[in-house]
Amino acid sequence: MPANDAGAGPPPSVAALDVDALARWMEEHAPGFRGPLTAEKFPGGQSNPTFRIRSPSGDYVLRRKPPGQLLKSAHAVDREFRVISALAHTDVPVPKALALCADESVIGTMFYVMEHVQGRVFWDPAMPDSSPAERAAVYDAMNAALAALHSVDTTAVGLADFGRPGDYFARQVSRWSDQYRASETQPIPAMDRLIAWLGAHRPPDDGRVALVHGDYRIDNMIFAPDSAKLLAIIDWELSTLGHPFSDLAYQCMQWRLPHEGDFRGLAGVDRAASGIPTEEAYVEAYCRRMGLAGIPSWTFCLAFSFFRLAAILQGVLKRALDGNASNPERGLKMGKAVPLLAHMACELVEAKG
């Protein structure tokens, strides 16, 4: 995926928090909280501004909607809060959700607070500072967690209504096409061709429905400081009830993206020497855990993943141009990846005929 490490700081409208108002609210709503507090914005990320809150009672993490004009249904921090709350007693590792604030008068936008999980984030999927054995163990832990997520009984955890019924891929192609058009800044012929191809080659709905993360990748996970144990999956903004193969394909897209410039993909990484499984081996491990013989319509799933990421990054670019981005400089750079992603998807589907 495009790298999302530190860049220039965000404008004050994005970064600033009224810490006194926040402390008063947390004293009333966050169990065990004691002020005063300080707040520091994490430098990475392009969607919901995220802050580390420090206080005498411990450290916390706050996720808020960005200010300004936003695309419809984007930045749904209330959905994030709901899903991590629901997953608290499952086999899916998540931070502990503490409190949600829908009152925009407190700090200017809706937000929620969760526990701070101390651990490691691997910003580079190639994990250059790790041994082959650790890389293999980390990728296996991600694979196991993905299978656990897709095995969650959504009715039992109160998420039976977390997504709309019907053909997931049909809804998603429509949704992200609309989002892309709403944030379009210049014509990209490859995106037009890709949208048309997806509409013409969408597989029949097979009825599979699971809780999906929507942005399942290694830098949205926190691992133990001294082991490959996965402590928490974070950034659930895009989660919904959907097709489980969309999560698998989205992560496997990383195997195909370049590992250069603003991208942190795995293309060109020596799988055998690194300990990182091949795409085929990763898919086989997932199928084994899920009791599947294979993944039908894999080309469509991959092409859809490229398309959706391109649409997301187009929205990031538009917010940067409008002055609402969490990290404007990074947003402008990431927006340049949209044509590349569209071209890669077109090459993929054309190669498959």
Please compute the mean of the pLDDT values over residues 158-164 and round it to a whole number: 94
Q: What is this structure's pTM?
A: 0.89
Per-residue pLDDT tens digits for 272-315: 899 999 999 999 999 999 999 999 999 999 999 999 999 999 98
CATH of 132-351, picked from 3.40.718.10, 3.40.50.300, 3.30.43.10, 3.90.1200.10, is 3.90.1200.10
Q: Considering the domain delimited by 12-115, tell me its CATH architecture.
A: 2-Layer Sandwich (3.30)
Give residue 325's pLDDT: 66
Low-confidence winner among 23-37, 64-78, 126-140, 189-203 (lowest mean pLDDT): 64-78
Per-residue pLDDT tens digits for 88-106: 999 999 999 999 999 999 9
pLDDT range class, residue 131, cuts 50, 70, 90: very high
Question: What's the chain look like in SS3?
Answer: CECCCCCCCCCHHHHCCCHHHHHHHHHHHCCCCCCCCEEEECCCCCCCCEEEEEECCEEEEEEECCCCCCCCCCCCHHHHHHHHHHHHHCCCCCCCEEEEECCCCCCCCCEEEEECCCCECCCCCCCCCCCHHHHHHHHHHHHHHHHHHHCCCCCCCCCCCCCCCCCHHHHHHHHHHHHHHHHCCCCCHHHHHHHHHHHHHCCCCCCCCEEECCCCCHHHEEECCCCCCEEEECCCCCCEEECHHHHHHHHHHHHHCCCCCCECCCCCCCHHHHCCCCHHHHHHHHHHHHCCCCCCCHHHHHHHHHHHHHHHHHHHHHHHHHCCCCCHHHHHHHHCHHHHHHHHHHHHHHHCC
Low-confidence winner among 23-27, 42-46, 220-224 (lowest mean pLDDT): 42-46
Give residue 63's pLDDT: 94
User: Mean pLDDT for the chain?
Assistant: 90
Question: Which part of the chain is CATH 3.30.200.20?
Answer: 12-115
Give residue 1's pLDDT: 59
Question: Which part of the chain is CATH 3.90.1200.10?
Answer: 132-351
Per-residue pLDDT tens digits for 37-81: 999 998 765 568 899 999 999 999 999 987 655 445 556 899 999
